[in-house]
Homo-oligomer: A and B are copies of this chain.
Amino acid sequence: MLTKEELPYCPVATTVDLIGNKWKLLILRELLAGTKRFSELKRAVDGISQKVLTENLRALERDGIVDRVVYPVIPPKVEYSLSELGDSLRPIITAMQAWGTNYILNKEELKAESAPE
């Protein structure tokens, strides 16, 4: 967890430091839909390797955004979910989802205009 002294003073920069990379944003998208096992996340986040997924989950856990629960069974079962802090990021992902949806829609409209039927 970062201490206050290590944090940049700009709120946007603070947020960017914690979740401002491709993989973390996509992992958050998945966990906002609910608790997921490691293998589920691996399947859901397209193109991510096991190593990178692990690294990002560790970072999110360290920063108090993700909770990790290990079930002592065989074979191992580990569940990841958002902490309260993590869930509070929802508006950011929601805004990105809304923008992306619009972007794709407008793109298709333009395509339909320039090449009707």
A residues neighboring B (CB under 8 Å): 4-5, 7-16, 18, 20-22, 25-26, 29, 33, 44, 46, 85, 88-89, 91-104, 107-108, 111
Q: Which residues of B contact A100 (CB under 8 A)?
A: 10-15
Q: Which residues of B contact A12 (CB under 8 A)?
A: 25-26, 29, 93, 96-97, 100
How many protomers of this protein does the assembly include?
A: 2
Q: Closest approach, in angstroms, between the C-beta of A75 and any C-beta of chain B?
A: 24
Q: Which residues of B contact A107 (CB under 8 A)?
A: 4, 7
Contact of A8 among B25, B46, B102 (CB under 8 A): B46
A16 and B25 contact, CB distance less than 8 A: yes
Q: A11-B104, A92-B99 are in contact. List 15 more A-B contacts (CB 8 A).
A: A4-B108, A4-B111, A7-B107, A9-B104, A11-B97, A11-B103, A12-B25, A12-B26, A15-B97, A16-B26, A18-B103, A20-B25, A88-B99, A92-B95, A95-B95
